[in-house]
Chain A
């Protein structure tokens, strides 16, 4: 797919509007435009094959959760407490500047207990009881790996397929390729919550939901928990709905006169965008108002559900957005960067997310939406088996580790009740079924009915794609 094809789609519409503008009367046209959809269509030929999922809910755990304390048990390490990480495992691989100066790399076994859950006997640590309870609905990948070792490049990499800023993010690609199903809401929504585990944490940045070189209308729209849920959504003080409608009518009438004179389809587009803005002023507050959610639902998502801006509250919003056909719902939960103390910082972080993540899966399933919604839970890399800082059995920190980590997927197109991939005794290197970030992204696109090789955009003379020059499907985890 290229800009040529998108242009062809646009041109068709332009011609349509062009003829409308000159061919039929303006009042008729005005009526058409006011009711007209600005929800953009999918690119011609998309989806490329039958889609298993219609949308993605991406639960990004920013800062990198520790795999060997949550998903990847290494019981043998108990006997190797404080031993130096063997060179045969480290293999001289690069470390961050934070620990490369350490004199030793003592092994820090996880202090948390693991048990097997579900029919497939998937391993989970005691910190994730709710996730463990949905073991049969999810697929844990324990052999993820990435190329970057610091947060900014790594989070940029998993979201855009490149460590360097400037490429479109996953949500923008999907929004561009598959279009929007909702005329009153953006097709790509972003929500951010803060973790209890580490308050002073890695920041996030607008670029992570930016459209890169794709047109900016494909960028994520950030929903905020305080102030306007969408920037500039509320009318200014002293402007009520009636005054606003009256102003919009005036704007539309004069713009329609202008359209008649200039026959520029851009004018028609602008008229339609103002109508969408007006509809968003109603649809967004209705969406973000959780007061009508039944008590049972709030309870399922946990004690944080009533706190606006919490991860749990964002998970409920995610389900509501999914119900309304929003294509890509991106959550970011901050606070997973546990250099200083995993034992102290990880448990509250899990409390933030465990119950609500599991509740989201159950909630979607109860509404018959899990089959058509692909949910992913995971971070940008893993953490080191060796300790950063002071090591005791009760106290250890972990540095960044790109060579292996764990995450899970559920829903549309993904097999539940399984885990895939294996790491060595130290959760340091992958020994079976490695999954590169590009492989993961290719697989997720496949679930949406998109061939990752075909979702391309011509920029600077090259056809770019989310998976850059890589990506193989992880067939093991895909439903037939």
Chain B
């Protein structure tokens, strides 16, 4: 079940004797029921009437003080076709209560207020309260004043055990250790609480906890998303976020660095990394996607995200039309668009770097790899120099070579099969010329394995000959119709004859043939596609001998002899099999069948050749010279090394500005194909203007967001921080501060916090400290029947908040309680336990990466570091309402489902944690079952169990101990969970029974709840 907002339930409505509050009670009605046709969207406006602007409304349909005389009231109460909103489908009617409120509001003078969120907050004076003794800081005055108005009293302070667990989870995302609990409980000094708070905010765990929410907002992930969902690398940005929170970077700087760090004067490495915020969005690399279309989608995503995260507005609504509820026009939208339209990027991604990242990319410092790279680069330069020298030397011999090339026949050494095996049982008879003739079964398809040895070295090529034979159909060279054969695959592996080692695959680079049918695709013989329908055939020259020559990339042949294993595929179907064939090798420099272009050029006298022909012949001559090949092989090898090292250097995607800005247009109906009027970068017209001297780029936009005049940024952020500590924001719709959002429960408190935030220099920790120091925060989370009745949603804050922990905290807490948690920070993401087959079932692209579970301590890192694949996110997280990270989320839902129960009971993560927690209970929990269970209970809840709870757990232990004592096999299987080392010195049946108790503890509502 989620934390819902519900306006109607609570008596927030105006009490008798008080005037109706326009912003709280009237604007939401007008916005929801009237603005669609009588609001900001000019295109949809009916009757030229708008009710979002006071002057317009009063000119046309409102008579202050006279409801009956106001057209607005007449129309909403009409009983005929004039009734508004119109009765036809899709338009909700006003309720009697709503009509009553409007009537009263008009009667009281139809007092208008501008929308609360669009005027800069003014620091209110904290109200006076009767029960001043309860107040610990200003926050409490606002909360208590409201409670007193409602005739409610705040709840008592929670126990110290509850408070330390609440604070530890809220601030660091981890539970307190038993020692920390004991020390805090014992500490009677006046500032014990504050010292605890300070210690928690100083912990590096704080930055990790804060990062989780920010990563949701920034839609951070380890893959690009959409259906191909390839890997990318953005953890440098994620680690920057953790560091920024830990060093308490002021929120205005935090904002500027991420929006426009690259545009600051001489930006630091950190500031450039920070700009990755705007590169976290998904990118559609699906084949056939249209770059221009997704260029627009990507920028729309950026603007919508800025809108939600900083402005608390549903900016994306104005993509296709003026906003229906807020005064945001389409022009405003494309004005924002222009700020993000100048990044040198491709809508569908373009080339990925060695880390999977898309331009613009920044390499990260990696001193060791850089040193290696410098070494290889130097060697590579030397080898390239040598190559050039060799080529110059060889050029002298070209004329002689040309004179003989065309006439020349390489010498081939025929290979004798040590073993020749057919997958389908075809038999082969050796012929006198060293060829093999097929007999026996004639399957549709076949694959041959041919093993042979040779002492030849410096091997340049293999030759497969198709030889015609009278015994074959039509006297051709194959066994298929008319004597056809189709070779669909040729592979070669090599091993030293002297060694029994595993043969290694050879990299075969080129295939040429004496003849190939027009349908043949020779490269498919070496690099087959999924469908084995292409290859080499010699139709219609079936009655002539023909050869396929295959050249490996580098010279081959071991000293002392080489054993080759060839795989020859005939998978075309319909029995297109080899009939008679022969295999040979050569060390000749020119074993191939040169292309027609080369042959033609060679036939011409040098003087008659074109420039291209000369280059062609020269290159052909040089590239196959053995001396050059040897040097070139070195160049190739070094270059492969260089690329491999380069690809190891981590990179991160960043923002960058193009020299020449792209033009931006209003896009009609939001479509990339339909350009309207041209616009330039601008902030929305209804908000304070961009200062005249501010740069018209992202930096200007960032500075505008954090300027004192901006009414939204501070309010939106303090509201989200409040949501972290109180379960819900003061504005329940954290993502929408516009006229369709829910008005704040405590508007003055929100404004006080927002102004305080700015006043203290956007000090994140200071603001949060104020929240947790308040008496409001410290209240016990119990609801009396009266309170449950009056305020089930706890909007008035007469009690502490109680809500299920976020996904990451549930797992991190289990690991911490078991003592498994590893606190190593940052770096590449890790892959903890996950059921087999999840990625395989959903992603089937050829070059997919399968889930390779991490080893050792990476299994127990904080969940922040878990690998996030967008199309198949980790189920242990999404089951507990973590978003998919495909788009910005600033408020997670909180659901309660049977799948959560199954995960906590059966996921290997939790079974292992239970087992290790049980070991801990046995080792550290004293000697009696009661003390051991109590110890586990304290670890999980930070409090001692009550007698009744202990009784239940002890009885359960006894019951299950009996059954495990009888069943040694069950004991072994239960204790096998997880890779964490096992403590064999403990009595195993006991350990199994305690494991079930530990699992019960980790499943308790209290344990997965923060209260």
Q: Is A201's CB under 8 angstroms from B7's CB?
A: no
Q: Is A97's CB under 8 angstroms from B288's CB?
A: yes
Q: How far is the CB of B768 from chain A (nearest CB, A)?
A: 25
Near A by CB (< 8 A), chain B positions 297-334 give 297, 314, 317, 324-325
From B4, B227, B955, contact of A10 by CB (8 A): B4
Q: Which of B97-105, B422-430, B745-753, B893-901 interfaces with chain A? A: B893-901
- Chain A residues with CB under 8 A of B948: 257
Q: How far is the CB of B17 from chain A (nearest CB, A)?
A: 27
Q: How far is the CB of B759 from chain A (nearest CB, A)?
A: 30
B999 at the interface (CB under 8 A from A): yes
From B284, B324, B781, contact of A462 by CB (8 A): B324
B1004 at the interface (CB under 8 A from A): yes
- Chain A residues with CB under 8 A of B900: 273
- Chain B residues with CB under 8 A of A235: 905-906
Near A by CB (< 8 A), chain B positions 842-892 give 842-846, 848, 870-873, 875, 878-879, 881, 884, 886-887
A204 at the interface (CB under 8 A from B): yes
How far does the alpha carbon of A250 sit from the alpha carbon of B954 in the complex, in Å? 10
A15 at the interface (CB under 8 A from B): yes
A80-92 interface code vs B (CB 8 A; 1 in, 0 out):
0000000000000
A246-272 interface code vs B (CB 8 A; 1 in, 0 out):
110111011101110111111101110
B620 at the interface (CB under 8 A from A): no
B289 at the interface (CB under 8 A from A): yes
Q: Is B896's CB under 8 angstroms from A273's CB?
A: yes
Q: Is B1004's CB under 8 angstroms from A204's CB?
A: no
How far does the alpha carbon of A251 sit from the alpha carbon of B735 in the complex, in Å? 36
Q: Is B297's CB under 8 angstroms from A341's CB?
A: no
Q: Using CB atoms, name the residue of chain A closest to B970.
A: A238
A116-130 interface code vs B (CB 8 A; 1 in, 0 out):
000000000000000
A133 at the interface (CB under 8 A from B): no
Near A by CB (< 8 A), chain B positions 780-809 give 781-785, 788-789, 792, 802-804
Q: How far is the CB of B871 from chain A (nearest CB, A)?
A: 3
How far does the alpha carbon of A244 sit from the alpha carbon of B974 in the complex, in Å? 12
Q: Is A231's CB under 8 angstroms from B531's CB?
A: no
Q: Using CB atoms, name the residue of chain A closest to B4.
A: A7
From B348, B736, B741, B895, contact of A216 by CB (8 A): B895
A1-33 interface code vs B (CB 8 A; 1 in, 0 out):
001101110110011001100100000000000
- Chain B residues with CB under 8 A of A234: 906
Between A165, A205, A228, A230, the greatest number of chain B beta carbons within 10 A of the residue's beta carbon is seen for A205
Q: How far is the CB of B933 from chain A (nearest CB, A)?
A: 11
Q: Which of A106-114, A137-145, A219-227, A292-300 interfaces with chain B? A: A219-227
B981 at the interface (CB under 8 A from A): no
- Chain A residues with CB under 8 A of B959: 246
Q: Which of B129-137, B444-452, B833-841 interfaces with chain A? A: B833-841
Q: How far is the CB of B519 from chain A (nearest CB, A)?
A: 9
How far does the alpha carbon of A215 sit from the alpha carbon of B883 in the complex, in Å? 11
How far does the alpha carbon of A263 sit from the alpha carbon of B740 in the complex, in Å? 32
B265-297 interface code vs A (CB 8 A; 1 in, 0 out):
000000000000000001010111111000001
- Chain B residues with CB under 8 A of A210: 884
- Chain B residues with CB under 8 A of A152: 226-227, 284, 286
Q: Is A258's CB under 8 angstroms from B835's CB?
A: no
Q: A203-B842, A247-B1000, A461-B741 are in contact. Are A233 and B906 (CB under 8 A)?
A: yes
- Chain A residues with CB under 8 A of B8: 4, 8
Between B282, B792, B875, B878, the greatest number of chain A beta carbons within 10 A of the residue's beta carbon is seen for B792
- Chain B residues with CB under 8 A of A10: 1, 4
Q: Which of A274-282, A369-377, A429-437 interfaces with chain B? A: A274-282
Q: A164-B297, A200-B845, A258-B1006 are in contact. Are A247 and B902 (CB under 8 A)?
A: no
Q: Is B1's CB under 8 angstroms from A266's CB?
A: yes
Q: Is B227's CB under 8 angstroms from A151's CB?
A: yes
From A4, A280, A453, contact of B902 by CB (8 A): A280
Q: How far is the CB of A202 from chain B (nearest CB, A)?
A: 6
Between B314, B896, B955, B971, the greatest number of chain A beta carbons within 10 A of the residue's beta carbon is seen for B896
A393 at the interface (CB under 8 A from B): no
- Chain A residues with CB under 8 A of B955: 250
- Chain B residues with CB under 8 A of A224: 837, 841
- Chain B residues with CB under 8 A of A263: 782-785, 788
Q: Using CB atoms, name the residue of chain B closest to A22.
A: B785
B686 at the interface (CB under 8 A from A): no
- Chain A residues with CB under 8 A of B288: 96-99, 149-150, 399-400
Main secondary structure of the interface of B (DSSP, over half): loop
B605 at the interface (CB under 8 A from A): no
From B325, B842, B871, B971, contact of A461 by CB (8 A): B325
A324 at the interface (CB under 8 A from B): no
B803-819 interface code vs A (CB 8 A; 1 in, 0 out):
11000000000000000
Q: Is A232's CB under 8 angstroms from B902's CB?
A: yes
Q: Using CB atoms, name the residue of chain B closest to A263.
A: B783
Q: How far is the CB of A265 from chain B (nearest CB, A)?
A: 8
Q: Using CB atoms, name the residue of chain A closest to B519.
A: A390
- Chain A residues with CB under 8 A of B5: 3, 7
B970-1011 interface code vs A (CB 8 A; 1 in, 0 out):
111111110000000000000010001101100111100101
Q: How far is the CB of B192 from chain A (nearest CB, A)?
A: 26
A94 at the interface (CB under 8 A from B): yes
Q: Is B2's CB under 8 angstroms from A215's CB?
A: yes
Q: Using CB atoms, name the residue of chain B closest to A392.
A: B519
Near A by CB (< 8 A), chain B positions 396-455 give none
Between A18, A98, A231, A271, the greatest number of chain B beta carbons within 10 A of the residue's beta carbon is seen for A231
How far does the alpha carbon of A253 sit from the alpha carbon of B335 in the complex, in Å? 59
Between A6, A203, A227, A400, the greatest number of chain B beta carbons within 10 A of the residue's beta carbon is seen for A203
Q: How far is the CB of B40 from chain A (nearest CB, A)?
A: 13
Between B291, B899, B959, B972, the greatest number of chain A beta carbons within 10 A of the residue's beta carbon is seen for B899
B719 at the interface (CB under 8 A from A): no
Q: Using CB atoms, name the residue of chain A closest to B1006.
A: A258
Q: Using CB atoms, name the residue of chain A closest to B886.
A: A165
From B229, B835, B896, B973, contact of A266 by CB (8 A): B896
Q: A237-B974, A243-B996, A258-B1005 are in contact. Are A277 and B898 (CB under 8 A)?
A: yes
Q: A18-B785, A200-B846 are in contact. Are A243 and B9 (CB under 8 A)?
A: no
Near B by CB (< 8 A), chain A positions 438-480 give 451, 453-454, 460-462
B550 at the interface (CB under 8 A from A): no
- Chain A residues with CB under 8 A of B1: 10, 215, 265-266, 269
- Chain B residues with CB under 8 A of A239: 970, 974, 996
Q: Is A262's CB under 8 angstroms from B970's CB?
A: no
Q: Is A232's CB under 8 angstroms from B905's CB?
A: yes
A368 at the interface (CB under 8 A from B): no
Q: Using CB atoms, name the residue of chain B closest to A264.
A: B802
Q: Which residues does A use to contact B, with CB under 8 Å? A: 3-4, 6-8, 10-11, 14-15, 18-19, 22, 38, 94, 96-99, 149-153, 164-166, 186, 192, 194, 199-207, 210, 215-217, 221, 224, 226-228, 230-240, 242-244, 246-247, 249-251, 253-255, 257-259, 261-267, 269-271, 273-274, 276-277, 280-281, 334, 340-341, 344, 399-400, 451, 453-454, 460-462
Q: What would 28 A/B residue contacts be, using CB atoms closer than 8 Å?
A: A3-B4, A8-B9, A18-B785, A18-B792, A94-B290, A96-B287, A97-B348, A150-B289, A165-B884, A200-B844, A203-B228, A203-B843, A206-B884, A216-B878, A231-B835, A237-B973, A238-B975, A247-B999, A247-B1003, A257-B946, A257-B948, A262-B802, A263-B788, A271-B1005, A341-B531, A453-B89, A462-B314, A462-B740
The 3 closest A-B pairs by CB, nearest first: A461-B740, A238-B974, A237-B973
Q: Which residues does B use to contact A, with CB under 8 Å? A: 1-2, 4-9, 89-90, 225-229, 282, 284, 286-291, 297, 314, 317, 324-325, 348, 530-531, 533, 673, 733, 735-736, 738-741, 781-785, 788-789, 792, 802-804, 835-837, 841-846, 848, 870-873, 875, 878-879, 881, 884, 886-887, 893, 895-903, 905-908, 911, 946, 948-949, 952-953, 955-956, 959-960, 963, 969-977, 992, 996-997, 999-1000, 1003-1006, 1009, 1011
